[in-house]
Structure 1
Amino acid sequence: MLTARYAVVQSSYWSAFCLIVNFASVYLLAHGLSNAQIGVLLAVAGAVATVVQPIVAGIVDRSRVPLRLWLVLGGIVVAALAAALLPQGEGFLTAVTYGLLVALVQVVQPLVNSLGMAAVAQGFRVNFGVARACGSVTFALLSVGAGALIAARSAKAVALLLIVAAAVFVAGSATFILRHPAAPATDYAASSVSRKRAAAEAAGEPAVGHRDPARLSDPPALDRRAWKLFSLLLVGIMLGMTSHTLVNAFLFQIVDFHGGDAGAMGLAAMVAAMVELPTMVFFERLISRWTPGTLLIVGGIGFAVKNLAAYLAPNLAVLYLSQVLQFAGFGLVIPATVYYVNRLFPAALRVRGQAYITMTFSAGSVVGALIGGVVLDAAGVPMLLLVGTVAATVGAVFVWFGADRR
């Protein structure tokens, strides 16, 4: 089943993301970095990713190499960098290596999304929401498992687990092959997919997957007004992701403020990841009833409400409850942006459109990481969460005016 194979790609990707991003503070604090230094490192890595993402997307758009092989290459590099973290090196080299991992995992994200949406655009039955939900389940379980392992052993467990996640990602990406004896491809991977189908026909190989008779229509090019609205939307999403980063990147410090440890941080991350599941599993039903633009507006408001709840939380138990609101923020925005780009952009520009969205996520991560480390050292956790609440609220306003509800 094609959805199951895509779920392996999503699950292994989000496993790597969990280990690299969510446990960044745990790993880097253990290697002697301060909150401000961690913030600068994450910000620089995010800035690098923001610059590199459109370049990589453009190369992939023009490349005759199948997208899955680009993902294989990315997974191999992640594994190599993780292996480089295993020896106890000096702080500077460790920070640089970790920064490269943070940048790379963000650069790969739009390619992972495009892999599934390319199959959908070509008519194959791939349930993006279910596959992405599997990523959330893996993220949740790994958050708890890795947190407990780190608390019991050491931060070196991050690198070991990351090598395993990268190996699964490489295997899942390498085997995500689309074969069917008919119908032309309709997006950037057309040439490579057509060659594979022709080869399959010639060899008499069985078709893999099913085709959906309801193909995606190709929208016209964006006019000036559409670009302006899209820009407003991107600003709003960036501010929402800034607030998200202020909580996620510094979740260990927030949990520590309430008396918790790495295990408690893992549990908090698990709660957030698990509540994303209903949203993602049933996203196709949501998208059949409401447009992606409308769902993005709800997601923008969700970011603001979640951050406000975290700010008001008096103890660890209430902080866990605030994490439940993840379903209405990040859990909704991630799949909604993917479908929004597919509906707004013509097929030839969809990888680039996904890159614009991921660039925005990265930009929000940069701002959040940079501000977060400084605010933490200067004013502490309550001010960090207040800044996040303000950013999310302003972001929700931008999304309201920028999202195309049609």
Structure 2
Amino acid sequence: MSTKRITVYYSLNQVGFWMVFCLSSSFAAVYLGALGYSNTKLGSMLALGSVLGFLLGTGLSSFVDTSPRFNAADVLWPVLTLQAAFFLLLLFFPARGVVTTLCYPLLLAFTLAVNTLNLKLCADFEHYESPVNYGIARSMGSAAYMVLSMLLGVWVTRFGVRVIPIAGLAVTALQGVSNALLSRSVLRLRRKLLSGHAAPAPQGRSLGVFLRESPRFCLLLAGMALLFFSHNTTSTFLINFVEHAGGGIKTLGYLTAFLTALEVPTMLFFSRIFRRRSCAAVLRFSFIFFALKTAAIAAAPNIPLLFAAESLQVLSYALYAPAIVAYVTLVVPYDDAAKGQSLAFSMTTIGGVLASLISGRLLDVLSAPATAWIAAAVCAVGAAIACRGLEKPKNISAVWRP
């Protein structure tokens, strides 16, 4: 099967995921705030959702790594079904209350779990010798995120926050279409690779064993969790920083779209960057700019300077996102691929938990700049730890093919 066709299918997969992430995470403060939740309360709800997403994602990844019967695409079907169910509940109960308080964390948990399985699919295609151009696919996800952010900024202002669950249902249907295409492709490639041979038994290690035998990887994960405390402080609560600088919800939509527009060319041409620099070097560079970006946001007194500060996204997250997938592919054996990718992605979740619990409360008692300066200091510590955890691939012949 053509790798170009698989990249198209996987691009559709990324478009669907990042649009849902925009709805359920990036606009969470807008949605819950409009229903009357305080920063502390909505932060607690997002933290709970992130914890549940971490547990669900790692559990599903461990299951997929060791299951002789089910692949990632199979497991995605019930996850997407439940995601749609939570959007439906939010649509029919559009008010602050028990249903929203219970459903929103669960919606976020299942949203995050989807990407764990998406990344496993990427590793499967690499294993079956039809690698996805992840940089292109991920950039398409960012482009879709950008367009939806702009539209949401206008739609929410004009029609109210109820458009968010409606859009969520539409995008979940798109995810179902992409999963059907990818599921069929995985099965065809697997049959072709194993034609005439019995399928090998899964050799993946349990999660506990994997963590014990990967101390440097664990150190990297710890540093990344601190990095994403900073990143999530300024992204989850971006509306607070926009309002401090003199903007509103429409400005938030344009700023989110602007950030994503900066990411797209970086991710699109990541394969060329990778040919000149190792993944570890690219990651080190991005870690430094995570801290610089947060400090610049803290120092931005108006909207133009806030846009300028946020433009450092192109040297931080835009480089990090494709580089970490490539790095994990190189340093983690295929039989543990789902766990490795899940743990790496879950550090954004752990960072989100810390940001939701700590930064939500800080923003209720401190100014937005003071909160950002605290986040910048934590980010600098995280960058140092994460750099220490990076290592050279043990199997140098395992080349990530963009």
Same-fold call, TM > 0.5? yes
The code of the aligned residue for 1:93 comes to V
Q: State the match for 2:38 in structure 1.
A: 34
Distance of 1:89 and 1:382 partners within structure 2: 31
Q: State the match for 2:86 in structure 1.
A: 81
- Matched position secondary structure for 2:70: coil
Distance of 1:17 and 1:140 partners within structure 2: 12
Deviations 1:233-275 (A, max 9, x none): 1111111111110011101121112221111111111111111
Distance of 2:46 and 2:236 partners within structure 1: 9
Distance of 1:363 and 1:331 partners within structure 2: 19
The answer on whether the counterparts of 1:32 and 1:91 sit within 8 Å (CA) in structure 2 is no
For structure 2, the 5+ residue unaligned runs are 197-208, 394-402
The answer on whether the counterparts of 1:300 and 1:396 sit within 8 Å (CA) in structure 2 is yes
**1:108 maps onto 2:114 in alignment:** yes
Q: State the match for 2:25 in structure 1.
A: 21
**Percentage of identical aligned residues:** 28
Q: State the match for 1:45 in structure 2.
A: 49
Closer/same/farther in 2, CA of residues 150 and 235 from structure 1, 3 Å limit: same
Q: State the match for 1:3 in structure 2.
A: 7
Q: State the match for 2:357 in structure 1.
A: 370
Distance of 1:315 and 1:353 partners within structure 2: 40
Cα RMSD between the aligned structures? 2.4
The code of the aligned residue for 1:84 comes to L
Closer/same/farther in 2, CA of residues 90 and 400 from structure 1, 3 Å limit: closer
Which structure 2 residues correspond to residues 255-266 of structure 1 after superposition, within 5 A? 255-266=242-253
| Structure 2 residue corresponding to 1:160, chosen from 162, 166, 176 | 166
Task: Name the stretch that deviates more: 327-336 or 134-143.
Answer: 327-336
The code of the aligned residue for 2:83 comes to V
Distance of 1:70 and 1:141 partners within structure 2: 29
Closer/same/farther in 2, CA of residues 348 and 9 from structure 1, 3 Å limit: same
Closer/same/farther in 2, CA of residues 342 and 151 from structure 1, 3 Å limit: same
**1:144 maps onto 2:150 in alignment:** yes
Distance of 1:284 and 1:259 partners within structure 2: 39
Q: State the match for 2:265 in structure 1.
A: 278
**1:132 maps onto 2:119 in alignment:** no
The code of the aligned residue for 1:59 comes to F
- Matched position secondary structure for 2:91: coil
Distance of 2:340 and 2:174 partners within structure 1: 27
The answer on whether the counterparts of 1:31 and 1:91 sit within 8 Å (CA) in structure 2 is no
Closer/same/farther in 2, CA of residues 198 and 278 from structure 1, 3 Å limit: closer
The answer on whether the counterparts of 1:39 and 1:369 sit within 8 Å (CA) in structure 2 is yes
The answer on whether the counterparts of 2:123 and 2:334 sit within 8 Å (CA) in structure 1 is no
The code of the aligned residue for 1:4 comes to V
Q: State the match for 2:62 in structure 1.
A: 58
Distance of 1:274 and 1:321 partners within structure 2: 14
**1:67 maps onto 2:72 in alignment:** yes
- 1:177 deviation in Å? 4.1
Distance of 2:120 and 2:239 partners within structure 1: 32
Q: State the match for 1:309 in structure 2.
A: 296
Task: Name the stretch that deviates more: 357-366 or 60-69.
Answer: 60-69
Task: Name the stretch that deviates more: 10-19 or 55-64.
Answer: 55-64
Q: State the match for 2:381 in structure 1.
A: 394
Task: Name the stretch that deviates more: 6-15 or 395-404.
Answer: 395-404
- Matched position secondary structure for 1:85: helix
Distance of 2:141 and 2:111 partners within structure 1: 14
The answer on whether the counterparts of 2:331 and 2:392 sit within 8 Å (CA) in structure 1 is no
The code of the aligned residue for 2:72 comes to L
The answer on whether the counterparts of 2:128 and 2:189 sit within 8 Å (CA) in structure 1 is no
| Structure 2 residue corresponding to 1:327, chosen from 314, 335, 360 | 314
Deviations 1:114-159 (A, max 9, x none): 2123212321142110000000000011111011100111000111
Distance of 2:193 and 2:60 partners within structure 1: 28
Deviations 1:314-358 (A, max 9, x none): 101111111211111111112111111110111101111111112
- 1:194 deviation in Å? 6.2
The code of the aligned residue for 2:40 comes to A
Q: State the match for 1:380 in structure 2.
A: 367
Q: State the match for 2:201 in structure 1.
A: none
**1:251 maps onto 2:238 in alignment:** yes
**1:92 maps onto 2:95 in alignment:** no
Task: Name the stretch that deviates more: 26-35 or 50-59.
Answer: 50-59
Distance of 1:359 and 1:7 partners within structure 2: 21
Distance of 1:73 and 1:256 partners within structure 2: 39
Q: State the match for 2:396 in structure 1.
A: none
Distance of 2:120 and 2:150 partners within structure 1: 29
Q: State the match for 1:318 in structure 2.
A: 305
Which structure 2 residues correspond to residues 216-255 of structure 1 after superposition, within 5 A? 227-255=214-242
Distance of 2:335 and 2:59 partners within structure 1: 15
- 1:312 deviation in Å? 0.9
The answer on whether the counterparts of 2:211 and 2:218 sit within 8 Å (CA) in structure 1 is no
Normalised by the length of structure 2, the TM-score is: 0.88
